[in-house]
Structure 1
Amino acid sequence: MICLRRKLEEKLVQWKDRSEGRMPLLLYGARQVGKTYLLAELGEKHFANTVYINLETNPAVAGYFADDITPERLIRFLETTVNQEIIPGKTLIIFDEIQSCERALTSLKYFCESAPEYHVAAAGSLLGVAINREHYSFPVGKVESMTLFPLDFEEFLWAMGEERLAQEIRRCFSLLEPMAEVLHQKAIELYRYYLIVGGMPACVELFKRTGKLVLIPTSQNEILNNYVADMAKYAGAADTVKIRACFNSIPAQLAKENKKFQYKVVQKGGSASLFGVSIDWLTQAGIVLKCQKLEQAMNPIAVYVDLSSFKLYMSDVGLLVMKSGLPQQSVLTGEANLFMGSVAENYVAQALAANGHSLYYWTSEHTAELDFVLQKGRDIIGIEVKKGTKVKSKSINVFSQRYHSAYCIRFSEKNFGKTDNLWSVPLYGAFCV
């Protein structure tokens, strides 16, 4: 297996080295984004030994949590189960698929309060879904949460052995200085590869190993099938049908000129009361990214959200390209395909989410629309996404004049540059924001 370098590794090591106030770790993320692999790598590189327990595939162990869940009792049981000593500070305990065992999640509270000397990390592909069950006793304030996303474009470059190109992109972004044309074209080509491959580790590994884009859809289809299997497993039969219908509608939703999610696209006569819970399920499972509409782009932007209006993006752009049926050659050649605008927008949404930004967009009485709006400190930043090198648009000017934004960003396939308060950033530089 090819080792994939992930940005979250540094935060995991910081968690491991924290001498005071360290709490059990809860790692969120969609299925197959690499949570288990990342925790196993942490154990191998930074601990003397690792105790790994999969609570979904090991019901006997999961059943032991039904009774007393004091750390002392659990540690004794785990030592017997894996036949090795668990040493505070030297052993990493991993509870995988923890959403399968409610009491295991509750036990993290007691590890925090009574046995903070142990390093306990838990992961689950459907934690967001699971902790919203009414009977769940979630250890609020007793765990440190992190979220792992698919590889972003910078991590993809690392996987492809292009660390120096990634560094040069960051340098040009910091100075808003055009990149050498030959490097710019190379980065554009790799960006187009990324749109097809996406950031799911299995797909990146396959492309790294074979260099064949034609093999990628088969791997992506397997991931999508696993998502569907999860829907059937963790939701009722009726809910599963509605969740799948919402999920399957995403390419069609993004293909519309107005990309606002419309329930009638899912089903004639569809409504929030019928499909609202399904949207929440997909969001909490990490399968989709929700981008809320802003009524006003003023500080603080979170209080001006229109909760009834939103766009949905897929959590991985490669999965969107595959699911939409967009031909790979259309992506590679950058041909004038209308849906490529939606693909570029999804890519930017994924990059912003991976950097910890909440997703918002803005519209003005149907006369202007801005793809994304960020708040950084007191600055409100408008972001426009263009799929190619044609960048004419009035929306960003309308937004800038109305809200006197410190600066705005336009993503496109044009090189780095700056005009007044408008930053021109190539799409491949989205990971810098």
Structure 2
Amino acid sequence: MTFTRSVTGMSDGNNTSPVVAVALVALSTLLAMSAWFSATFVVPQLKATWELTPGGTAALTIAVQLGFVVGALLSAAMGIADAVPGRVLMFWGALGAAACNASLLLCEGLGAALPLRVATGVCLAGVYPPAIKEVSTWFLKGRGKALGIMIGALTLGSALPHLVAAVGGVEWRLVIVTTSLLSASGGLVVLLVRGEGPHPFPRRPVSLAAGFRSLRNRDVALANAGYAGHMWELYAMWAGLGLFLGSLPEVASQSDAESLSALLAFMCIGVGAAGCLVGGVLGDRWGRPRAAMTALVCSGGTAVALAVFYPVLPLTVVILMCAFWGFWVIADSAQFSAMVAETADPDYIGGALSVQLALGFVVTMLTLWGVPQAVEHYSWRVALLILAVGPAVGILAMAAAERRRRERVLIVGASTPLGTSQR
């Protein structure tokens, strides 16, 4: 994979090529986030072992989201993400997440496990936002594609629990041990990146509320609004897709219905890794707002189409629509981060990204709780329409962002003397 670079070589004092650096950061993030994915792996077994209620199983999943939000907001409020090198934060965050995850082996019930899951999320807030910032320092023109590759790796990680569920037979303690080791190894992998990217952001002393200053920037605010709409749909879709497919009569009537629905969910979610790459290419060519708006129209439109037509459609068509949904539902994710990296005050990029991610994951907690309630009390049709609300909000935000982008292009073009070119 090659990227368009704005430089012909590496920055001074740096022995890692941009492509290798992005690959290492993506691998490090994927491995470190194993501690997050472990909840999805083990919840079905813990539900029986710890006699969890539906509320308890939801709490075990949402606890990591809550911890991530708390950690991201603390990082932004204190300016840590802009004061400490990203690789250092990722190393300690990954090790902390591994330790918290491994401590689940000592738990005998939900009461002891919940604080550890919250702590895991706090530690992972030291991995994901700095990883986005690190990748952004290695590319300018190819930034969307580079971020898309990193988030594509995480998409595969999010889909993997469904494949494990389809295969079955993996004991939950082994899962915890394995994911803890993977998380710790993620912290070590990032140390293989030597030197800084050729486009580093300024490093500032710790400053309270530094990252929140980004909210005054209209371009950043629109990116955050689009990201919130995207996240409203994303995690609830990922969490609920297997259940939705399993509810279809043609699937539910099979003797191995649970394994079949998990396998279908893995395929429909995993295809999003390719969507991330396509979204990155479109973002680099068309501009971030237009690319994100395209993805939002496709994903939100598919949710509405499924809500209206899925009961009367053949199973094959429904599965293809779900795969199309899975492709586009994540394709825009990297573009919102790239918009912040390109429009926020360079002094506070780390804090601005932490705030964006915190806002997005707050939204995920609402739909992760609310969508199952809608299914239980109403129907999948209602739940699918609820999910489509997020993309609708995101589309409005991206339409406004695209207008602002075009206005800037016109202004720059009008101020450029005839015969000169813009970089």
TM class by smaller structure:
under 0.3
TM-score normalised according to structure 1 size? 0.23
TM-score normalised according to structure 2 size? 0.24
Point out which structure has higher relative CO (alpha carbons under 8 A, 6+ apart): 2
Larger Rg: 1
Q: Which has the higher helix share?
A: 2
